Amino acid sequence: MEKINVILGKRSYPISIGSGILQEDNIFWPLEPGNQAMLVTNKTLANLLKDTVFYHLRKSGIRVDQVILSDGEQYKTLNEMELIISSLLEKKHARDTTLIALGGGVIGDLTGFAASVYQRGVRFIQIPTTLLSQVDASVGGKTAVNHLLGKNMIGSFWQPSSVIIDIDCLSTLPFNELISGIAEVIKYAILFDACFFEWIEKNIDQLLTLNHKAISYCIKKCCELKANLISSDERENNLRALLNFGHTYGHAIEVHTGYGSWLHGEAVSVGMIMAARTSELLGYLDKNDFKRILFLLKKTGLPVKGPKNMSAASYLPYMIRDKKVISGEIRLVLPLSIGKAKIISGIDKNIILTSIKYSQ
């Protein structure tokens, strides 16, 4: 087992990464024997992993209840979060309780948001089970639910007490969920590390087959990159906003098509191509770098073209509601080269529309 620390003063916490670590006793730090906890998961994972985690929690002396939610992005709503709150109240959970999120990004976001507001804030632990949540969503304390008009528009910053990443959970993933997570891995490489991008180009087949050495290195690398960013910019006032690369376009796809129609990583993949194309049209991104990004996403099996029934103009209303918008001006994260990116504002809307049409 390897550990990475997210350094945030009193809110610092460990990320534990290993194979089979959910089978170990006393892995659920900072829980101690006699503590009260609420395990939050979904119907799919309730059949796959819930009993194992529940058994080891009780074996560790934790008094644990459970709430099982519906599975899917379309259920990342205030209504589902209220089910968590109601369960906590019905089971008489006090301010010293700890919520435990067992699942992907949806469960992590819902559980973290509930933890941030229940009795004005209680502890929570992340146990991410998808690649996307292991490399990105579980780390950093961004919690939220969706709104019909925008993704992740209702939420809070609430850091977990610990993140427990068991690589063995990935064997339960459908293949499309696995490649959806790889989209976020590629995002990190494009943004911050040209050598990591080259490593992915050489090792993508190993990642797709869940080669233990390759996937372990990949998860650890992404967690290290994100932990460093969060330590310097917890509330996305500066550099952390770079992590939204591809998301402004991608979120538009998710909202327009209806939550759950496109997986998050699939939408982000198309969004990264649109953003890279925007950068190329503005004269920042070299054509060869653009081709490498396009080829790697295609080789991974990710989509590089948006929904056929979504016009270029229909992206703009969603993009103007993006959280990076300031004074009504769209701001985009654009790659300047592989391994380097910048937030650019004041982009001509015709350039944005042209970049979208390229990927239709």
Q: Among residues 14, 11, 13, 12, which one has the least CA distance to residue 3?
A: 14
Residue 184 known to be catalytic: yes
* Residue 251 bears catalytic tag: yes
User: Angle at Cα 7 formed by Cα 6 and Cα 10, nearest 5°?
Assistant: 115
**Catalytic status, residue 10:** no
Active-site option among 42, 146, 152, 244:
244
- Marked catalytic residue, from 50, 56, 226, 277: 226
Residues with Cβ within 8 Å of 20's Cβ and at least 6 positions away in sequence, in order, are 166, 168
* Given 184, 254, 266, 280, the catalytic residue: 184
Question: Could you report how far apart the first and last alpha carbons of the chain are, in Å?
Answer: 44
Q: Is 142 a catalytic residue?
A: yes
Residue 161: other Cβ atoms inside 10 A: 20
C-alpha to C-alpha distance for 322 and 195, rounded to whole angstroms: 31
Residue 43 designated active-site? no
Place of tokens 């653009």: 290
* Alpha-carbon separation of residue 236 from 57, 79, 172, 299 (angstroms): 34, 27, 32, 32
Kindly name the residue from 50, 247, 323, 331 that is annotated as catalytic: 247
Listing DSSP states for 256-301 in one string gives HH-TTSS-HHHHHHHHHHHHHHHHHHTT-S-HHHHHHHHHHHHHHT
Establish whether 244 is a catalytic residue.
Answer: yes
Catalytic residue among 10, 79, 92, 120, which? Answer: 120
Q: Which of 236, 254, 266, 280 is catalytic?
A: 236
Catalytic residue among 76, 93, 142, 277: 142
Judge whether 254 counts as a catalytic residue. no
Helix H or strand E encompassing 39? strand 36-42
Q: Is 11 a catalytic residue?
A: no
Question: Which are the catalytic amino acids?
Answer: 120, 142, 184, 226, 236, 240, 244, 247, 251, 264
